Amino acid sequence: MSVWDFVAHNRAAELSHPGYLWGVAWSPDGARLASASQNGTVKVWDTNTYTESASFITGWAFCVTWAPDGQQLAVGTYEGTIQIWDIETSEQIREINGVSPLVSLAWSPDGNLIAAGHLDSAIILWDVESGAQIGSLTGYTTVRSDVNGLAWSPDGQILASAHQDGRVRLWDIQSRQLLLTISAHEGWVRGIAWSPDGRWLASTGEDRRARIWDPATGQQLGQVVHNRLPVWSVAWSPDGQYISTGSGAYNRSSDPGTVIVWALPSP
């Protein structure tokens, strides 16, 4: 796993985490980086020294998400469980049993809820403190619609989901209702991310494109063609001026993909 210096445009560190890495996530303060591996472990890295600060035995880990205060880390596994770990003690606090393999997780901005996206298209909301299921998001039927990505709006009122059927869906959390469906990509939608101010939504997909959307109307505001490979991930810079996209493909070890940082036009 590589960490890149955006200003210098070079590799800042190379971190060794054996196995196929499915998920990475920065802590809210940027001081730590978590990585989830198919080898059954999640590792936490100190980003000042680029050394391993913790390692958790989790089983096949698909995805990770940080609590807003950075004190806890949630791990989604292929077995369908959500594990919540204490960062300081490296102890597992809670385990929540899901319904099928987990492919995406997102912790709500207020810290109270975790949204879990499953391989069978289920989106389930869990109460962090009690571990109780408090709701599910339904209202669509497709042959296959893995929930490849989840992202909360900055105000925590809307949850965006990225699906195998090429669509992005926006959900009202209070009513649990589907607000908007966007036909976003040809083929799978892989990545989803809100701009820091909540005005825009970015998505990436199998069609090698990254697109920017107006989440109120579903109107496309812009797009870029990444490169020759499907685009798996997207992230917004904290200042909202850039997005980064990462490409890759199954069984293409000779072609590891590319990370590209895109500058957004000034409003």
Query: Is residue 73 predicted with pLDDT exceeding 90?
Result: yes
76 vs 150: CA distance, rounded Å: 13
Task: List the structure tokens of 183.
Answer: 């036909």
Q: CATH second-level architecture of 2-137?
A: 7 Propeller (2.130)
Does the CA dihedral 194-195-197-200 come out positive or negative?
Answer: negative
40 vs 60: CA distance, rounded Å: 4
List all residues 6 or more positions away from 124 whose beta carbon is below 8 Å from its beta carbon: 98, 99, 115, 116, 118, 133, 135, 136, 137
Q: For residue range 229-255, what is the model confidence (pLDDT) as tens digits?
A: 899 899 999 999 989 998 887 766 666
- The H or E element that residue 50 is part of is none
Domain boundaries, the chain: 2-137
List all residues 6 or more positions away from 55 whose beta carbon is below 8 Å from its beta carbon: 41, 42, 43, 44, 90
Burial class (CB in 10 A: 0-12, 13-18, 19+), 215: buried
Q: For residue range 182-197, what is the model confidence (pLDDT) as tens digits?
A: 999 999 999 999 999 9
Query: Is residue 38 predicted with pLDDT exceeding 70?
Result: yes
CA proximity to 169, closest of 112, 133, 123: 123
197 vs 103: CA distance, rounded Å: 26
Q: For residue range 203-239, what is the model confidence (pLDDT) as tens digits?
A: 999 999 999 999 999 999 999 998 888 998 999 999 9
Vertex 206 angle, CA 225 and 14, to 5°: 80
pLDDT, the chain, mean: 90
The stretch 37-51 carries a mean pLDDT of 92
How many CA atoms lie within 13 Å of 151's alpha carbon, on the beta-carbon side?
A: 27
65 contacts 32 by C-beta, under 8 angstroms: no
CA proximity to 62, closest of 92, 89, 100, 30: 100
- pLDDT number for residue 79: 92
